[in-house]
Structure 1
Amino acid sequence: MKKILKRTALFILLTPIVLLVLGFIAYGIYALLAVGGESTPHQAYLQKHKQEVRLTGQPAFHIFDSAFYQKQIFFLGEAHGCAMPQDLDFALLQHLNQRVGLTHYLAEVDYSQAWFLNEYLRIGEERHLQTVFQFWARNNAQWGNQNFFDKLKKIRALNQTLPAAQQISILGVDKIQDLQVTQRFLQQTLAQLPAVVQQDSAFVALRQVISQDSLDRDSLVAIAQRLLPTFMQEAASPTLSSAAQFNLQHTLENLAYLDGKTRRDSVMYLNLNTVVKAQKLEGAKLYGMWGLFHTIPVEVQRGVPFAYYLQGPNSPFKGKTVSIGVYTIDSENMMPAAGMPAFLSKGERFINTGMANNDGPMVFVHGIKDLRAVTRENSMTLFKTDASGSPYRTSSRLATIKVLFPNQSIDFKGDQPHVSDVFQYVCLVRNSKALTPLPVL
């Protein structure tokens, strides 16, 4: 009996240890397979088709070919949290402004947020920036960072050196993020309408809802859905300017999208088409930095990326986009602390971590070691993936992105695509600092 008890006790004691050891072994094998080894042919190709980005002066990007500049929409896709992509973003925006006359920054913000950002770019009052950024800061969103805030200031400073026709403005096409900003935008828009228009029953009803101190989302969505058909008829009145008509109708349409039936990236596509048509931008060049998922132009298992909608058979942008994917190693990421164990968050809004790098321990890009082998520390290096003879045209290296967080891996439908079909250019960021959180005012 004693022997049985001893064996049982030993089994109970050793089982967790054995399971833990087996777990570490399984993780180690998974990590090795997910990252993969090095490839001499791929590294030889990368050496010939790379450019280390230098941010001094006016950056030149000799790596881009003529086909790149012929595209209409340029995406920079990154996993939010690192500082260096913000610098690359501004450098690319400045370069495209000079090279192809690009004046529209296609931003991951909604239409009302873009209006306030453009007011800042126009008159320079920082309160307009804070109107947008404090929503992100209060909600501990990664967009609410000092680096992005300062980048808007750099865009305004750049604009001051440019003729009016060449100055950059923000084009917001995202699903509504901040109802309070939308409320303020509607209040200002309605206040500027002629008195005879303001007395219209449709506008009176809308004003009653948006004048409340405590905004009720469901009520606002309901009245938007109710007013849209009537408003679209009455808005044709000559007493309304075309700008006011569009601002009101477009905002009501976006409020109606909040009913939950229309997916976010689908709203982005609908909004882009609407805004491009309204502002007569059919031939205009557009550029912006977005979350990596949104910039993927091929079909994935969960969700439909914005860039994939742009490749649809009826899309006016089919074949006119190019995506640059950003990968990071040896870098710090500013991650929201909400939901993390207390011993990690320590009561802070964000924590800086290296766990989100693309060579592990939580995120794995197959073939990332080849990029490391041909780059220097503390650098950003661009690579062209689809040049003549590229081995990336026939392999899935750099296209496989596995994440240990639930529902975060990017899994493609059908056969694994080649990275040249996903990102025609990739950028490896090494040793980046984390973003700096913006203070909550």
Structure 2
Amino acid sequence: MGFSQSKNDYLQSNRYDILDASFEFPHSGFKIMGFGAYHGSQETENAEKIILEQLIRKHKIKYYLPETDFGIAYYFNQYLKSGDTLLLKDLVKHYGSRVPQERSIETYNKWKNIKKINDNQSAADKIEVVGIDLIVTYKYTSKLLIELFETGKGKFVSYDNLAAMLKIDTTDYSPNYDSYSKNVLKAFVSDYENNKAYFQSISKNQKITDNLIDNISLTFKKRDREKTIFDNYLSLSELYNFSSNAQFVRMGFFHIEKERENNNPSFFTRLIESNVYKKEEIVAIAGFLTKSRVLWDLKFDDKKKYIGYTTEGGYGIGDYWKEYFKGINKLKRNRLSNLTLYSLNKENSPYTKNETDLMEIKLFLKKSNKNDLKGKTTTDYFDYAILISNSRASTPIDEMDK
């Protein structure tokens, strides 16, 4: 079948100014929607805020799935209820342990805005936050374990040590090496497994308990992150009935791709290949930066005290002469504002056949990823593109302490 429009003509007919007061996201009837972009840019957070606000106010989603674990997500819910900004600040710091560019004032303000929107919804229409990722840090997973189990002091030393660790709150909660907190949790999981009947008898929520114990155990060995995200989604779907309650996912670019890249299945690809949802029930939105900067490195001294940060405006944004997305210039030529949304999957779209635009990365004096995309086209991977222009880099939340 031939295409009736050039890419420029098509984009001009299928573009939306996200910053326009009358903007409405042009899609409904989905099971799960995902937004992925390079981390660390202020306007990326603004784009998500606008889309998320619409979805909440129009009651199109029930659950929000950020790129974090169940424990941190659980306490984001507590913030949405309580408005405790000290809790929020600590949550953002732990949330940003996996992706430091998200450890930002912009992330902090985004959550304050989500609370404001959620407060204006009826009880039945409020969103709930769910974490399906690998454990980021042990702190909030440990805190939730203490909430789930109420057992007398002295019954299990491992439980007492867990509670004491949280009370002192000076430890390194990293799951990525043999930290003190990891050893405390190893001892507790061992006691749990050896006394499972007792712990199950006192657990306030066994499904959540099972999920936490399984995910803690995964941190003791080599694990497949994408498989873990998918497995957690299936497991928690029994609790939250995801198939009947739409969700909005905010994760990195790869996780929301709807097709394999280099034969590596993302979270969204696994949902499709496992027949959890049909491809058309999943909406993927990819964000692309131009003339922008991103938060790059956070700097700490030998005592782990924050001392500053760096930003990047060349490598790291996907629009640099040494590294850029094929086809991004067409988005740039047809932008309406600093946040322009393009629908790529309409009838007769030139992006639906034999195209690697916006997926192929051109590299100076290096081989591109074109071979990884052989036989695929742009809309195999995502449905919409957002061009994010003239964005400043995000600011580390640690700057609030200066």
TM-score range, shorter chain: 0.7 to 0.9
Aligned position for 2:257? 296
Given that 2:95 and 2:103 are in contact with CA atoms closer than 8 Å, whether structure 1 keeps it comes out as yes
Aligned position for 1:16? none
Which piece of structure 1 moves more, 318-327 or 297-306?
297-306
1:50 maps onto 2:15 in alignment: yes
How far apart are the structure 2 equivalents of 1:410 and 1:348?
Answer: 34
Change (3 A) 1:233 1:130: same
Aligned position for 2:361? 401
SS of the counterpart of 2:45? Answer: helix
How far apart are the structure 2 equivalents of 1:411 and 1:180?
Answer: 41
Deviation at 1:83, TM superposition (A): 1.0
Change (3 A) 1:404 1:291: farther
Amino acid at match of 1:60: E
Match among 267, 275, 299 for residue 228 of structure 2: 267
Change (3 A) 1:406 1:257: farther
In the TM superposition, what are the counterparts of 1:271-350 in structure 2 within 5 Å? 271-301=232-262, 303-313=264-274, 315-319=275-279, 320-336=281-297, 348-350=308-310
Aligned position for 2:304? none
SS of the counterpart of 2:395? Answer: coil
In the TM superposition, what are the counterparts of 1:145-164 in structure 2 within 5 Å? 145-164=104-123
How far apart are the structure 1 equivalents of 2:248 and 2:98?
Answer: 26
User: Which structure 2 segments of 5+ residues have no match?
Assistant: 172-178, 301-306
Deviation at 1:228, TM superposition (A): 5.7
Amino acid at match of 1:106: L
How far apart are the structure 2 equivalents of 1:405 and 1:299?
Answer: 25
Match among 391, 397, 412 for residue 350 of structure 2: 391
**TM-score if structure 1 supplies the norm length?**
0.76
Which piece of structure 1 moves more, 353-362 or 219-228?
219-228
Deviation at 1:375, TM superposition (A): 1.5
How far apart are the structure 2 equivalents of 1:249 and 1:389?
Answer: 48
Which structure has the larger Rg over C-alpha atoms? Answer: 1
How far apart are the structure 1 equivalents of 2:346 and 2:132?
Answer: 32
Match among 128, 133, 141 for residue 174 of structure 1: 133
Listed one character per residue, the Cα deviations across residues 372-408 of structure 1 (whole Å, up to 9, x for unaligned) are 11114x521111112111111122222213467999x
Given that 2:59 and 2:125 are in contact with CA atoms closer than 8 Å, whether structure 1 keeps it comes out as no
Amino acid at match of 2:317: N
SS of the counterpart of 1:130? Answer: helix
Deviation at 1:351, TM superposition (A): 2.1
Match among 46, 70, 74 for residue 33 of structure 2: 74
| RMSD, aligned α-carbons | 3.0
How far apart are the structure 1 equivalents of 2:249 and 2:215?
Answer: 21
Given that 2:255 and 2:268 are in contact with CA atoms closer than 8 Å, whether structure 1 keeps it comes out as yes
SS of the counterpart of 1:102? Answer: coil
Deviation at 1:85, TM superposition (A): 1.6
Aligned position for 1:252? 213
Deviation at 1:295, TM superposition (A): 1.1
Amino acid at match of 1:374: N
Aligned position for 2:190? 226
Listed one character per residue, the Cα deviations across residues 293-345 of structure 1 (whole Å, up to 9, x for unaligned) are 111121122854222222223x4234331101111111111111569xxxxxx
1:435 maps onto 2:388 in alignment: no
In the TM superposition, what are the counterparts of 1:88-107 in structure 2 within 5 Å? 88-107=47-66
Given that 2:11 and 2:334 are in contact with CA atoms closer than 8 Å, whether structure 1 keeps it comes out as yes
SS of the counterpart of 2:74? Answer: helix
**TM-score if structure 2 supplies the norm length?**
0.83
How far apart are the structure 2 equivalents of 1:224 and 1:312?
Answer: 37
How far apart are the structure 2 equivalents of 1:422 and 1:116?
Answer: 32
Deviation at 1:236, TM superposition (A): 4.6
